Amino acid sequence: MLTGAKRMSFEELPHTADIKIRARAPTLNALFSDVLDALMQVMYGPERSGGIDRRVDLSSADTESLLAEFLSEVLFVSEVDGLVFKTADIAIEGLHVSAVLHGEPFDFKKHAGGTEVKGISYTGLSIEKEANGYKVDIVFDV
């Protein structure tokens, strides 16, 4: 279950085997940021801080693929570099995302209570434009 001190703009939805998240945000930049926050909270819990930055730049064929590839890259950087990200400065231009991820080194005492995410699923991934912004349902493979 996702919990935390800040007001969340995402929620966990029922799913048979994996973790399904619904996020809403006024802009695509904010939507990507909120889904990144959900991913990190699922994996490491709400107690995360900054101090170390990593940059991610990539392009994709469509917005859904851009989100999935962005989150996959975050997973890779988190695993390889042993980092837990709290926030990100995200800029989306067309089908390109540039982000500076802000995080800290993984600390077993602080971050070990989450669920291992093995990947980001494309199944059912759809970003919808709504009257007040954007909505996405996304599945994290666990």
User: Measured between alpha carbons, how far is 93 from 70 in angstroms, rounded to an integer?
Assistant: 14
Q: Answer yes or no: is 110 within a domain.
A: yes
For residue 94, what is the domain's CATH number?
3.55.10.10
Q: What is the DSSP letter of 79?
A: H
Q: Answer yes or no: is 59 within a domain.
A: yes
Residue 85 and residue 48 in contact, taking contact as beta carbons nearer than 8 Å: yes
Q: How many domains does the chain have?
A: 1
Question: Each residue of 56-111: pLDDT tens digit?
Answer: 999 999 999 999 999 999 999 999 999 999 999 999 999 999 999 999 999 999 99
Q: What's the pLDDT score for residue 17? A: 72
Q: What's the pLDDT score for residue 84? A: 97
Q: Answer yes or no: is 91 within a domain.
A: yes
If DSSP codes are grouped into helix, strand and coil, which group holds residue 49?
A: coil
Question: Each residue of 27-37: pLDDT tens digit?
Answer: 999 999 999 99
Q: Answer yes or no: is 19 within a domain.
A: yes
Q: Answer yes or no: is 71 within a domain.
A: yes
User: Measured between alpha carbons, how far is 49 from 26 in angstroms, rounded to an integer?
Assistant: 24
If DSSP codes are grouped into helix, strand and coil, which group holds residue 109?
A: helix
Q: Answer yes or no: is 92 within a domain.
A: yes
Q: Answer yes or no: is 2 within a domain.
A: no
Beta 119-130 vs 10-13: how paired, if at all? Answer: unpaired
* Mean pLDDT across 44-53: 93
Does the pLDDT at position 3 exceed 50?
no
Q: What's the pLDDT score for residue 2? A: 41
Supply the range of the domain harboring residue 28: 10-141
Q: Answer yes or no: is 76 within a domain.
A: yes
Give 87's strand partners.
102
Both tokens assigned to 43: 């994996």
Q: How many CA atoms lie within 13 A of 46 on its CB side?
A: 8
